[in-house]
Amino acid sequence: MTIPINQSTAANAKSAAIRLAQLKQQLNLTPSSMSQQAPKDMAAERASADFDIEALAHHWHGGREQYVLMQKAFALIKSDPELVVQPPRNFVELTKDESREFTMGQIHRFVKLLQDPVIRSQGPEFAEALFQALVNYSESFSMRIGVHRALFRNVLLMLGSDEQRDEWLDDVDNYRIFGCFAMTELGHSSALRDIETTATYDINTDEFIINSPTITATKWWIGMAGKTATHTMVIAQTYIDGKHMGHNWFIVQLRDRSTGELMPNVIAGDIGHKVGRSGLDNGWIQFHHTRIPRTQMLNRWVDLDRQGNYTPAPSPVVMYATLIPERVMLVLNSMLMVSHAVAIATRYGVVRRQGSHNEQIMDYLSHYGKFAPAVSFVYMVRSATSTLDEQFKILTAGGNMDPEVYMYHMGDMHAISACLKGLTGWYGSDVLETCRRACGGHAYSAYNNIGQIIDDWGVLTTGGGDNVVLLQQTAKILLHLLTQKLEHDQYPQLKFKSSTHYFIRAKEYLAVPQWHVTDVSMCLDNLSLIEEALFTILVKRLNSIREDLKAGTTHNDLLLDSVRAAEMHAAAFLYSDAVGKYDKADLSADPGVAKIMRRMTALWGLHTLHTYSDQGFKEGFLTPQQVKQIEKVYLMATKNLRKQLIGLTDAWGYPDFVLKAPIAKYDGDIYEPYFETLLMSKNSIGVPSYHGKYIKPLTDAE
């Protein structure tokens, strides 16, 4: 497909190229030994991989066909000025308003491409690849369109009746309306029990009246509500005939689809400047006795007839199930952002040399000892989220949920999605800080993208629920299931393998006084040794918390213990899921891929056992000598993977324009491109506009 290039953009690019060439003539750009060595180092790193990098890339993307489609999608968007910021403009120099406009322009262009006959002829798989390519390029695009696709749409699918889906879904899928997700409030964030927005049924007019009774009832941080969304899903306290009926979801129109003006009795605005994701128009909404038809209360699980007879949901928790896909989306987004930062820092780490023997800085334990588990973490999360996707399909059955199956499985899905979101948020924060420090002063430059990723990251530690609260919720479910097993020998029989499957052997684990492994290196040959150790520690720790609660200790006094156990449960789930896939797997008949994925799995298991060894020590399950051995074997495993890191990060398939970091150029030739990036920046050289006003009066003074 030929993409028309905006003429002014092309002219600007040509002018910038001429200016850059002129500047380079004035500068001393003679290659140094360091700049000449960098590409050689990168090539040597790539050649040292023990596996076929392209074969691993196929596995990462879900198969060769998907990999080829992604590369084709990247090639398509790379030179499109409406999708990717083109020189001389730079992504990091866009103002808030420019970012808002550019991101909406990306969505407009994406939708138009989906409607293009040439794109349509290539099938839905290529359309999805285009979407994923843009998600990789822009966090603002990812979240702005994700609010519509993953939140607004999912609420409709999960909670809307067949009639409501028939009425709304076509407009949603074809972007004739843009939806947002009005859950959080100024005074209550995600504490849904306390939200103040009300929906009162008026039987005389057959309408609901949506109202924001106080300032703290204002819907807050609502993505796309600032300027874009035409409609929103609103969760509100419901009142019928003067009686409180709990929470329900409602479709409310915010803006006229043609003019963009706010609807009567709706006031909404933009949150303004944020730390990151400046292309997303987060907003606030107030409803002033806004009237909507009764039919716009989502009624797959509840019902209200014309006479005001209300049938409640089988359980109030179904109203919160929409948060499960949101959390899985946030986990995937976390993995994506971490992988970008790790790819940047890893590439820089093998071309930057420093030390008494001019070592590659990646050869220091402070580098490879941190980056090897970070790379493993990315692979584990990628693998585990595919498992959660399959489990979620069982839960929702494509929107045709069996109420009994749905109710029976939702608690388990909530538990693992909540704690996995907590783990990825916290460990991901550590990894990003590691990446920043590992790139030295160059990470402080916005042009190398690490800082931008860290700014954009903030929403992932609180969006979808505060990590402490989510981990508390998981711990509560874990304690309940463990009690049911220990005291009543009951354990739910699910249609998928639960993350808590190890509770089936809880009594057996409690009876084990100490880990029997005396040589921890044996764990590299037998991955189940680590798995059994993690499960035993978890059962013992959770049981200790349970016993303390029974003895009268408060939940608040055990808060940190509970959160730590839930976090460990998530890490153990990542490991156990990977063991099931990679311990003895034959991946696409490629032994190199199978071997490296098993090594990634083993490293994550050792990382988890090392990180949470304090939990085992508290229970007397691990001795000081075993803890020392675990650390020794773990660090040796990171060292053995040192030369595989470039190949492992290459397999993610991120083009240079997606990473947006000159110090992470694929070929390792980083210094001249870095310099060129700065030279193309507006006003990088020359007399500043304020010289005559502020500098000259001082320097000319006698």
Instruction: Determine the longest span between alpha carbons in the chain, in angstroms.
Output: 92
**Concatenated DSSP letters of 96-158:** HHHHHHHHHHHHHHHHHHHH-HHHHTT-HHHHHHHHHHHHHH-HHHHHHHHIIIIIIHHHHHH
Cα radius of gyration rounded to whole Å, the chain: 27
Distance separating alpha carbons of residues 228 and 226, to the nearest angstrom: 6
Supply φ then ψ for residue 402, to 5 degrees.
-80, 115
Quickly tell me which residue has 């990789």 as its tokens: 136
What residues have CB less than 8 Å from 98, skipping those under 6 apart?
none
C-beta of residue 338 within 8 angstroms of C-beta of residue 431: yes
223 is in an annotated binding site: yes
Cα-to-chain-centroid distance, residue 448: 21
Note whether 233 and 182 are within 8 A (CB): yes
Helix, strand, or coil (residue 306): coil
In DSSP terms, 266 is beta-bridged to 287
Q: How many CA atoms lie within 13 A of 142 on its CB side?
A: 22
Backbone angles phi, psi at 79, to 5 degrees: -105, 10
Quote the CA–CA distance of 351 and 37 in Å, as a whole number. Answer: 8
CA distance 636 to 603: 10
Residue 98 buriedness (CB in 10 A; 0-12 / 13-18 / 19+): middle
How far apart, in whole angstroms, are the C-alpha atoms of residue 244 and residue 448? 53
In the numeric block, which tokens belong to residue 530? 């680590």
Instruction: Locate 296 and state its tokens.
Output: 């716009």
Q: Phi-psi region for residue 424, left (φ > 0), alpha (ψ -120 to 50) or beta?
A: alpha
**The one-letter amino acid at 339:** S
CB count within 10 Å of CB 299 equals: 19
Instruction: Work out the number of other CB atoms within 10 angstroms of the CB of residue 679.
Output: 17
Instruction: Name the nearest CA neighbour of 505 among 523, 486, 518.
Output: 486
φ, ψ for residue 260, nearest 5 deg: 80, 0
In angstroms, the CA 147 to CA 414 distance is 20
Distance CA(278)–CA(143), nearest Å, equals 11
**Quick check: 224 and 180 in contact, CB under 8 A?**
yes
Best CA proximity match to 207, nearest among 134, 298, 286, 292? 292
Report the distance separating Cα 158 and Cα 160, nearest Å: 6
Q: Which helix (H) or strand (E) holds 284?
A: strand 283-287
What's the rounded Cα separation, in Å, for the pair 33 and 665? 18
- DSSP letter string, 465-500: S-HHHHHHHHHHHHHHHHHHHHHH------SS--TT
Residue type, 202: D
Residue with tokens 């990251």: 457
> Is 146 marked within a binding site?
no
| Element (DSSP H or E) covering residue 517 | none
Cα distances (angstroms) measured from residue 7 to each of 11, 89, 421: 6, 15, 45
The angle at the Cα of 526, spanning 522 to 527, to the nearest 5 degrees, equals 115
- The phi and psi torsions of 219 (rounded to 5 degrees) equal -65, 135
Contacts of 580 (CB under 8 A, 6+ apart): 497
Give me 537's structure tokens: 């520690």
Give the phi and the psi of residue 428 in degrees, each rounded to 5. Answer: -60, -40
- Joined tokens for residue 574: 């990542």
Q: Which segments are annotated as binding site for FAD? A: 184, 223
Instruction: Please enumerate, by residue number, every residue annotated as part of a binding site.
Output: 184, 223
